[in-house]
Structure 1
Amino acid sequence: MSRFFKRQDSDSDSSSEESEEELLLSDDDSDDGKPAAPASAAKPMSRFLRKDGDASDSSDSSSEESSGDSDDDEAPAKAKPQRSRFLKGGAGSDSEGSSDEDVKRVVKSAKDKRADEIEAISKAIDNAAKINDWVTINNEFDKLNRLIQRLNNVGEQVPPVFIRTLDSLESTVNNALAKEKDSKKKMEANKARALNGMKQKMKKINKEYETQLKAFHDDPEAFEAQYLAPVEPVVPVVAPRQVSAEAPAGDEFATVGRGGKSLGVGGENVFQKLALIQEARGKKNTDRNIQIQRLEEVYSATATPYAQIRVLLSLISARFDYNAAATHMPLDLWAAAQREIENLIRTLVANPAYTVQEIVQEEYDELVERAPEPGGVVYIRGTVISYVERLDEEFTRSLQNIDPHGTEYVDRLKDEKGLYNTICRAQAYFESKNQSDPLARVIMRRLEHIYSKPTAVVQALEQATGSTTALIRSLCVHLYQTENSLLRTRAILSHVYHHALNNEFYVARDMFLMSHLPETIHNADVATQILYNRVIVQLGLCAFRSGLIREAQSTLQDIFTTQRVKELLAQGVHQQRHTTLTPEQEKAERQRQLPFHMHINTELLEAAFLVSSMLVEIPLLASIDSEELKRKAISKPFRRLLDFADRQVFTGPPESTRDHIMQASKALQDGEWEKCRDLIQSIKIWSLMPEEKSVKEMLARRIQEEGLRTYLFTNSAYYTTLSLSLLSTTFSLPLRTVTSIISKMIWNDELSASLDQGAGVLVFHRLQLTRVQQLAQLLADRANQLVEQNEKVLDLKTSGGPNAGGGASWDRTEGGKGERGDQQQERRGRGERTRGASRGK
């Protein structure tokens, strides 16, 4: 049995303790200069660990130990320390681990390991360069750059082998590019891409290590010797610090960051700290909150305008990058960014010798303070207009994601005044610098904040009592002169919207038609098409408020025909039945939505459209005799609702706006104009109109007039003569107004009758059509149908259908409305004149 196994006796622990004591005593004796005793003599096996059959084993081991004693006598006095037999390579395991004792383990530091790894990568690059394997060179060079970046992070010096590799790679890349240019056979596509990538990387890296490369070129041996020279630690002598009585109590302490590194800044150190912070921007483990705090500390230590501008540009960018994945920017960060943008504009205005531009031709050292020469200008790379636009966009996003029915939305909306002031300051700055493109963009931002607001709100924003129309006109005129077609289009639409909001229908309509936007709006972006739809809707409401019922109905019809009013106005996402949106598409749709305070009330819009359709459709239905012509509707949405109401067996009291209008339409058909008026005026949605009382009076007057027309169309077949005074009394209209309406109907061939002024009566004429006349009228109607069908087919072929242009759902409202509408009205007038003539004969 091997001596490494022992019995589980109670005295095993004590025996092992005795053997350890003997080992210690033997070590003490060896330290006194005496020859080391043999291992067997210093460490005899305890008798308590032996078994009965181990006598022979012990005798054999003693003979071997005795032979080993003679050898140990000839050895020098210094013997190696005794190791425990229970360890590998100990006294009892010489045969098993003798080979392991010959191998010496070398422990390398992390610095040496990194140096070896850099050396290996450098050799791999050299080998790949010999066979022109640029893909491998590109990959290995990326690994090498990551290692060097790791060295810079821990504060170590760049090894000479890296500089030597850069030097050789530069010449290799240049030679390869020259050969490729002269060679007739082109390089493989992947190798060519890798070579071009190496060219760009080498250009960037060589610029960063320009000083080291120059030193290496001058004397490579001295450069490597300088790296290998030992650096003796310098122990600073700390002198007792004398704190003056004027120094503050906290002057002994310095702000430190991670790892105890001091964050103190001042003088030229400002730009170095700024460069370090910018290098860490966007990296994986960078804490953006700490980065903002460091930039604030750097800004507090700045003393020159140049340093303040540089730090503010970086600080504002860090604010906007704080949480890019969030739906909107936190309110405290937004307020801080607004203050810093105002500080930046204020600093630039106070120091006109400094100018911030997106494109700066000259290169400059960002680590050195720059001061303007007498009469000169210092150009700083950056952008102010982008910060202003981003601030405005974040404000809109916050309004999109806040509940509009709570107090938080109102509190957030109060910040618009400060944002508007910032935009005005930016406009004044760009005007002073005569920068045309940023000036046009900031004017467009200012215009978007005021074009859709009433005069009182705009005057509150402007803090002035001047004319709002003159202000908007001046802004739009400036945008009309820009080269940017998108800004010109949006300026025209904003100008038209403002005129329509102020009930200037004819001015807005003429400006809208002269711009020819209906012909080109399908090529615009989605946001501009949304603005176009809003202008169409506001024009229709303006016509309705002005009493122009036919114009209002024809204008609003294009929007309501699509049955997607909220989607076209960006006031809601339309859920289609058989199509599903991807998360990206749904996110894009929600980002297009307008804030709640800019919404146009769709219920008010629907009420205006249905009432206008009622006043146009009901007299037209009464004037048509044949059922085939009655099926041709001017307003299909209204006719659909009217047919549905006619099919109802039981009709209860009206509840919604549609119920009121449908029951009013039936009353108007029956000649009950008073009931129709009461139902229309009882709609509560009219309270949202700016001039509610005048709108209701206008509706009552138009209902009386259309009620008279409907009555004449319906009962003309049953009367020979009709008293004008009776008509005046029945419809509560002045006799002069009744005479005017009837004369207009006779002039337009809508009514086959004549006026007898002496008797004060209306005389109706009747004539039975011959068979030839009936066939001619039928042929004319069929020809009109054929022309209309051909025009529809032509429109589909020329415009590519309703979904042409890829924008799909946003260009349904355009499409040559003016020309086709005029043609339809002309054909309708010819048909009505034909019918009137047939009745008059």
Structure 2
Amino acid sequence: MASRFWAAASGSEEEESGSESEEESSEDSDSSSSESDAARRPGVSRFLVGSSDSDSDDDRRVVRSTRDRRFDELNGTCDELRNKMHINDWNAIQTLFDKLNKQLEKALKTADGAPVPRSYIKMLVELDDFLTQTLANRDAKKKMSPTNAKALNTMKQRLRKHNPTYQTQMDAFREHPESSEPEPSEVDSDASGSDSDDESKSGGEDEEDGEGFEKIKSKQEKKKDKLLTMNPQEITYDMVSKKLKEVIMARGKKGVDRREQVEMLQYLASVAKGPSQQVEALVHVVSALFDINPSMSTHMALPIWKRCTGTLLQVLELLQQHQHVVLDESYDSGLEDRTEEPEASKGEVLVWGNLVAFVERLDDELFKSLQVIDPHTHQYMERMRDEVAFSALAAKAAEYLERRGDNKNQARIALRRVEHFYFKTDAVYDAIRRMAAVQKEQLDAAEKPAEETEADMEQDPEDAEMEAATAGMGKETIQLPADFQMDESCQRFLYQQAALIYKHGDERTKARAMLCTIFFKAIHDDFHGARDALLMSHLQDSVPQMDISTQILYNRAVAQMGLAAFRAGLVVQAHNCLSELYASGRVKELLAQGMSLSRNQDRTPEQEKLERRRQMPFHMHINLELLEAVHLICAMLLEVPSRAATACGAAEARRRPISKPWERLMSNFEKQTFTGPPENVRDHVMAASRALMGGDWRQAYEHVESLTVWSLLAGKEDRLNLMRNKLQECGLRTYLFASGSYYQSLSLEQLCQMFELPEERDGHAHGSRRYHMLDMQMSPHKNPKQPPSV
């Protein structure tokens, strides 16, 4: 029996003209049958099955403009970049970064006059922060594959060249990262609607977009504080005080923008009604700036450091002008509710603040930044110039503490000042003084045009108000105080500060000041003064119980004493100072100038991190090659005659080695079947030792003279002449011990010709022309008592 549907397809027109209700009820079945018929029809693609031009209004097709598609692609690439950043895949980040820049060019071409998308600026900021974080994490860098590490270095160079173009937009984003600024594709609804169908975009939708944009603007206006929109003359003391307490209470909470807090506190300081309120606001500005970088493992950014220093100098200037305002760490502003500015005649006005802690924190941040920055770059030299600004800050803080009679904190500041100059020679100190004078002249010259245009600013109050509101936002130069001047003599300055510390400091402060003084004496060739200071202070007995940083300073002072003794020709004293450092085999760790790789030492990541925090900046290093050369040369001058004396029976049968490191190196050197030309310090000294043991002092001098470290010593010619005399004397002693058993007597004239020594030394004659070997007082060196190790 045939179906009625098929009958309708073949039959009468009456059944074809059925009711509309029946067609609507069978809509689903008709659509399925049409799909099956289309599938059976030859030449029709099965991918087009189900497509119909008569779609319903709810499923209307939307056509997007080329501009919108470009921005969508750019945002999608940004999301991919973030995913690769999560897994630290720098190869993919490098590829996607190139792709992102190409998409930006295409997007800006399609959008005439449109600004750079905020999503792109946000991506640059995130990439910059992630790169800085990755470079700071040395453990993660070590675990990277070579390809990934190479891509990291490539991205470092690319971002360094690429980001300055968008630096202004990046700085604006960092200041207001939560701003809801719309993207270009969202603002221009008319441009996107021109390429779409008439039915997809209507006037009602445009009105809705306009209303949404107005809502965004209204929200931004609501976020803006009411105090910022008021006339500064209408703001009262009570309003500033309440707002100040509100900002202080919000510190540390989640979701609080720290940079916005800094700007609000800076604005409150500019509209404060009185010196005490202004000082209070500026002190909290410094605290808020410290909160921007809460981690102690990373250093503070350079602009933030300079802004902190400039703000503290401003605080100290206010304290100098209004001496009734006093900073007190224990003062609680909540206990005293002030409604107006206290008068100076009523006594001291207390304001919370710890000036010494601020100065010490800035010093630590400067030290940490010099640890991290590559010392072979121009950036390191620029950072070292900031020592002048810190010296000015410390000097002003010391003046304030002296006015207050706070001797304990004054000693702490004095120690910080001493630690910046104890390792500097007179030439370096004079260069810093000249640099400080040049900086003051440049800043004074830069201020003159500003003073000339003050009348113009008064004529245009709106421009003047805008400039005052934005003052200090991008400030990167520090105004040195007008009365700041460094002492002409570094020695006088150092001894004055040390005397203050000895009088008012605690035990640790006194010990560090004494070690700094010893170091300073040693680099100025006053070995005997440094030795007497060390022995009189008995620091060698108490330093093992001190903190690690003080132990490092002790090791540095002893090493510098060894160099001073060597420059003075005191071989035994120089060896005594350096022997303990090299006996441990960990010279880099003891001097905090790096970490030596050893198989027997397994450090945890935490220990390595602590070790890196103790490292000295590069400009404070003692040259390790020079130190090793001095130690091995002194050991050679003592060991070679001692070996010869033991061989001839002039000493006890069992000889105790004077220098175990030299003995170990010499033993390895003698075991070598073939000895090539010397390449490093050890090879040169070992070759000189072998020649000296054979009595050939000239060849030994040639090996020692060829060392490159002599250029690091002042007065190179005098040092080489001194070394020549020491090798002649050592060669003479070695020759007498080695060849004395073959002779009954020796001619003094012949010995003087062989070793090119004069017959008289120090005004005393050696005696007769011929003398017996037994009459010569040539005994081997006895090992003196060594100083205790740290």
TM-score by length of 2: 0.62
3-state SS of 1:550 partner: helix
Paired letter, 2:256: T
Q: What displacement does 1:338 show?
A: 0.8
Is 1:588–2:552 an aligned residue pair? no
Q: How far has the Cα of 1:417 moved from its partner?
A: 1.1
How do 1:300-319 residues align onto structure 2 when only pairs under 5 Å count?
300-319=270-289
> Is 1:262–2:226 an aligned residue pair?
yes
Question: Which whole-Å CA distance do the structure 1 matches of 2:337 and 2:221 have between them?
Answer: 24
> Are 1:727 and 1:738, in contact at CA under 8 Å, matched by a contact in 2?
no
Q: Distance in 2 between matches of 1:690 and 1:366?
A: 64
Between the aligned partners of 2:699 and 2:21, the Cα distance in structure 1 is 119
Say how many residue pairs are matched. Answer: 516
Residue matched to 1:533: 555
Amino acid of the residue matched to residue 405 of structure 1?
H
What amino acid does structure 2 have at the position aligned with 1:763?
H
Please state if 1:563 is matched with 2:599: no
Confirm or deny that 1:365 pairs with 2:375: no
8 Å CA contact 1:256, 1:262 repeated in 2: no
5+ residue gaps, structure 2, are: 1-18, 26-216, 435-485, 776-781
What is the CA-CA distance between 1:274 and the residue it aligns to?
1.3
**Larger deviation: 698-707 or 454-463?**
454-463
Whether 2:772 is the aligned partner of 1:763: answer yes
Closer, same or farther in 2 for the Cα pair 1:254/1:629, shift >3 Å? Answer: farther
Cα deviation digits, residues 240-299 of structure 1 (max 9, x gap): xxxxxxxxxxxxx99976635424262221122211111211111111122112222222
RMSD across aligned positions (CA): 2.9
8 Å CA contact retained: 2:327, 2:355: yes
Q: Secondary structure at the match of 1:481?
A: helix
Match of 1:197 in 2: none
List per-residue Cα deviations over 1:680-736 (Å, max 9, x = no partner): 111011111122221111101111111111111111100111110001111111111
Question: Helix, strand or coil: the match of 1:722?
Answer: strand
Instruction: Name the CA distance, whole Å, in 1 between partners of 2:494 and 2:711.
Output: 28
Does structure 1 residue 553 correspond to structure 2 residue 572?
no
**Structure 2 vs 1, CA of residues 585 and 13 (structure 1 numbering), >3 Å: closer, same or farther?**
farther
Amino acid of the structure 2 residue aligned with 1:684: T
Change (3 A) 1:583 1:373: same
Within the alignment, does 1:422 sit opposite 2:432 as a pair? Answer: no
Q: Give the structure with higher Rg (CA).
A: 1
The CA deviation at 1:675 is 0.8
CA contact (8 A) 2:269 2:279 kept: no
Structure 2 counterparts to residues 96-107 of structure 1, below 5 A: none
Residue 11 of structure 1 corresponds to 21
Paired position in structure 2 for 1:323: 293
Matched residues in 2 for 1:279 and 1:639: separation? 67
CA distance in 2: counterparts of 1:256 and 1:312, whole angstroms: 27
Q: Take 1:560 and 1:579, find their aligned partners in 2: how far apart are those partners?
A: 17
Q: Identify the residue that residue 673 of structure 1 maps to in structure 2.
A: 697
Matches within 5 A, 1:804-819: 815=788
Cα distance 1:426–1:608, how it changes in 2: closer, same or farther (>3 A)?
Answer: same
For 1:146, the equivalent position in structure 2 comes to none
**TM-superposed deviation, 1:492:** 0.8
- Match for 1:459: what amino acid? D
Once residues 362 and 257 of structure 2 are traced to their aligned partners in structure 1, the CA distance between those partners, rounded to angstroms, is: 23
The aligned residue for residue 275 of structure 1 is: 245
Shift in Å, 1:369: 3.6
The offset of 1:327, in angstroms, is 1.2
Amino acid at match of 1:764: M
- SS across alignment from 2:313: helix
Q: Deviations over 1:471-513 (max 9, x none)?
A: 2111111111125111011111111111111111111101100
For 2:415 and 2:675, the matched residues in 1 are separated by 52
Residues 642, 333 of structure 1: CA spacing in aligned structure 2 closer, same or farther, 3 A cutoff?
Answer: same
Q: Name 1:380's counterpart in structure 2.
A: 351
Shift of 1:373: 4.9
Q: Distance in 2 between matches of 1:283 and 1:582?
A: 34
Contact 2:692 2:731 in 1 (8 A): yes
Q: Determine if the alignment matches structure 1 residue 697 to structure 2 residue 721.
A: yes
Q: Which amino acid aligns with 2:289?
A: R
Change in 2 beyond 3 A, CA 1:816/1:445: closer
Q: Secondary structure at the match of 2:282?
A: helix
Correspondence for 2:642 among 607, 615, 620: 620
| Distance in 2 (alpha carbons) for counterparts of 1:729 and 1:273 | 91
Whole-Å separation in 1 of the counterparts to 2:274 and 2:583: 63
> How far does the alpha carbon of each residue in 1:37-92 deviate from its partner, in whole angstroms, 9 at most, with x for none?
xxxxxxxxxxxxxxxxxxxxxxxxxxxxxxxxxxxxxxxxxxxxxxxxxxxxxxxx
Paired residue for 1:505? 527
Give the distance between the partners of 2:324 and 2:661, measured in 1 at CA: 64
After the TM superposition, which of the residue ranges 315-324 and 260-269 deviates more from structure 2? Answer: 260-269
Q: Which amino acid aligns with 1:673?
A: W
- Which string of whole-angstrom CA distances, capped at 9 and with x for unpartnered residues, describes residues 804-834 of structure 1? xxxxxxxxx96389xxxxxxxxxxxxxxxxx
Kept in 2: contact 1:673–1:704 (CA 8 A): yes
Write the distance in 2 (CA, Å) between the matches of 1:483 and 1:412: 30
Q: How far apart in 1 are the matches of 2:431 and 2:697?
A: 44
1:204-215 matched pairs, under 5 angstroms: none
Query: 2:744·2:773 contact (CA, 8 Å) conserved in 1?
Result: yes
**TM-score normalized by the length of structure 1:** 0.58
Higher relative contact order (CA 8 A, sep 6+): 2
Partner letter of residue 262 of structure 1?
Answer: K
Residues 439-492 of structure 1: per-residue CA shift (max 9 Å, x gap): 111101000011110012223445667332222111111111125111011111
SS of the residue corresponding to residue 294 of structure 2 reads coil
Question: What is the CA–CA distance in structure 1 between the aligned matches of 2:715 and 2:400, rounded to whole Å?
Answer: 40
CA contact (8 A) 2:580 2:789 kept: no
Q: Is residue 565 of structure 2 the alignment partner of residue 543 of structure 1?
A: yes
Q: Name the CA distance, whole Å, in 2 between partners of 1:632 and 1:716.
A: 22
Query: Residue 634 of structure 1 corresponds to which residue in structure 2?
Result: 658
Checking the alignment, whether the CA contact within 8 Å between 2:640 and 2:693 is kept in structure 1 is yes
CA drift of 1:582 comes to 2.8
The C-alpha deviation readout for 1:408-463, integer Å capped at 9, x for no partner, is 11111111111111111111111111111221111010000111100122234456
Please give the alpha-carbon distance, in whole angstroms, between the structure 2 residues aligned to 1:293 and 1:258: 17
Distance 1:669 1:425, change over 3 A: same
Give the aligned partner of residue 521 of structure 1: 543
2:261 to 271, 288, 291: 291
Q: Would the alpha carbon gap of residues 307 and 599 (structure 1) be closer, same or farther in structure 2, given more than 3 Å must change?
A: same
The question of whether the paired residues in 2 share the 8 Å contact of 1:641 and 1:662 is answered with: yes
Residue 765 of structure 1 deviates from its aligned partner by 4.4
Q: Which amino acid aligns with 1:547?
A: G
Partner-residue secondary structure (3-state), 2:419: helix
1:444 aligns with 2:380: no
- Report the Cα distance in structure 2 between the residues aligned to 1:424 and 1:543, rounded to whole angstroms: 34
Moved more, 556-565 or 621-630: 621-630
Q: Distance in 1 between matches of 2:411 and 2:763?
A: 56
Distance 2:425 2:538 in 1: 27
